[in-house]
Amino acid sequence: MMSDSLSQLRVLVVDDEPTIRTAIVATLEAEGATLVAVGSGSAALEACRRSAFDAVILDQFIGGQTGLELLPVLLAEAPWMKVVMVTAYASFDLAVQAMRRGACNFLPKPFTPDQLRVIVGEAARQRRVEQRLADSSNSDGPVDFVSADPAMSAAVDLARQVAATDATVLICGETGTGKGELAKAIHRWSPRAQRPLGVISCPSLSAELLESELFGHRKGAFTNAVRDNPGRVAASDGGTLFLDEIGDLPLALQPKFLRFVQDREYERVGDHLTRRADVRLIAATNVALEEAVKAGRFREDLYYRLKVIQIDLPPLRERPEDAATIARGLLAQFAQAMNRPRLELSEQALAAIRRYGWPGNIRELRNVIERAVILARGSIIGPELLRLDSGAQGRSSIDIGTHASMEAVEEQHLRGVLASTASIEEAAAILGMDTVTLWRRRKKYGIE
């Protein structure tokens, strides 16, 4: 019987072993998904440029390239895609790295057809939730911008004011504070709203690929340049171009980008024809560009060209009441998207949200609330479902991010194996642990 959860799902399979590609395609096509299978990184990138995919099944090794290298390149092309990383069995460190680079889950080898269906089904569920959340967004922008904090309110007011102009905007703030969402809102509030919004993530591409993605290239300009690519600048003509984490723009590329910022002129890679584009520029950074300028990593003239209007987003830990307000809004959105009955956060849960330091800011809060909605059994969500460590505020963001990522990987792996096996004994054998240890792990993660 065809699975409703996978029907209409478009999946890209990237694996250099033909037999594995064939097996994955056969399994998921039987569930109603539409599959495209390729055997190299360049073919995967080409496929993403031709078609829109909901999910990608990406092998750890593809010829001479690793999946970890290819993962951010694919997500830069289509950030909405859910990437499932196929890893060697028990390669836990690799799984953590993959998820930190943007993968939504991992699939250990060898895997069964049932395990494949479960993992891809989870990716499909995540994609549907995001689509429903996007569809339910109101015209005033994301819930992330609801604020009782004076600094945040001032930042949003400035964004609305500057949206009516073509001024270049630099958005500054820690990772997860909503810089990308604010950039999209500025575009949506602007006279250019009906024109394209192009997005480039500077850290995700090498200097060579970033120049090509930005300005485009001619066919044959370099290896794997099998066709002309107009680039994001040309694709955004008349609209807005958003460069995320501009502080990671390679120094060698900065003079060419400065010229474009000043004159809106550029050349494609391998082409001497000078082109122009009418593009409004928004950039974001989570690092102090002034320090990067002093260290010689960022051009001073480019820095001042970018910060015509600078908007600073305060971290969530500095606005605890906002954290509670945003949590309520996210709870309503996720509950609606997952067709759950009305859910509420208990006073204890709200108090825990206000106390927590939120090193991952709104991005971390979003993940915590989504997970709580998935695990909730009744109508009230208490602090035990949030699993916030009150002692975490004294730890660094890196420590917390690694700890949370590893626990998330372990939990998802356990859930996938348990869902695809007929007994606890079989699951324990696959996981390489005894049944008592598995019982303890299930209790830890609230797995029934």
pTM: 0.60
What does residue 181 show for φ and ψ, rounded to 5 degrees? -65, -40
Which backbone phi and psi does 8 adopt, to 5 degrees?
70, 5
Q: Looking at the domain that runs over 317-445, which CATH code has it been given? A: 1.10.8.60
Do the Cβ atoms of 228 and 276 come closer than 8 Å? no
Q: Do 10-136 and 150-313 fold alike per CATH?
A: yes
Query: Distance (Å, rounded) from C-alpha 319 to C-alpha 188?
Result: 26
Reduced to 3 states, what is the DSSP secondary structure of residue 242? Answer: strand
Q: What pLDDT was estimated at residue 42?
A: 87
Domain boundaries, the chain: 10-136, 150-313, 317-445
- What pLDDT score was predicted for residue 165? 96
**Which residue type, as a one-letter code, is found at position 340?**
R
- Which CATH number does 10-136 carry? 3.40.50.2300
Give the per-residue pLDDT at 429: 59
Q: Quote the pLDDT of residue 78.
A: 77
Give the model's pLDDT for residue 25.
94
| DSSP annotation of 401 | H
d(CA 374, CA 411): 13
Q: What CA–CA distance (Å, rounded) separates 249 from 232?
A: 15
Q: What residue ranges in 180-324 does DSSP mark as E strands?
A: 197-201, 240-244, 265-266, 275-276, 280-285, 309-312
- What are the structure tokens assigned to 217, written together? 């290239």
Tokens coding 110? 């060898």
Which are the contacts of 20, defined by CB distance < 8 A and separation ≥ 6? 59
Q: What is the pLDDT of residue 257?
A: 95
CATH class held by domain 150-313? alpha beta
Write out the chain's pLDDT in tens, 448 residues.
455 568 778 999 999 889 999 999 999 999 989 999 999 988 898 888 777 888 999 998 887 788 888 888 888 777 778 999 988 755 666 777 777 777 888 888 888 999 999 899 888 887 777 666 555 443 333 444 768 889 999 999 999 999 999 999 999 999 889 899 899 999 999 999 999 999 988 887 777 788 888 998 888 777 666 677 888 999 899 999 999 999 999 999 999 999 999 999 999 988 889 999 999 999 999 989 999 999 999 999 999 999 999 999 999 999 998 999 899 988 988 888 777 778 899 999 999 999 999 888 888 898 889 888 888 888 899 999 998 864 443 333 333 343 444 466 567 667 767 776 667 766 765 655 666 667 767 777 778 7
Tokens of 233: 């600048």
- For residue 244, give every residue at least 6 positions away whose Cβ sits within 8 Å of its Cβ, in sequence order, or none: 179, 180, 183, 199, 200, 201, 202, 283, 284
- pLDDT the model gives residue 256: 94
Token couple for 352: 């825990």
pLDDT of residue 309: 96
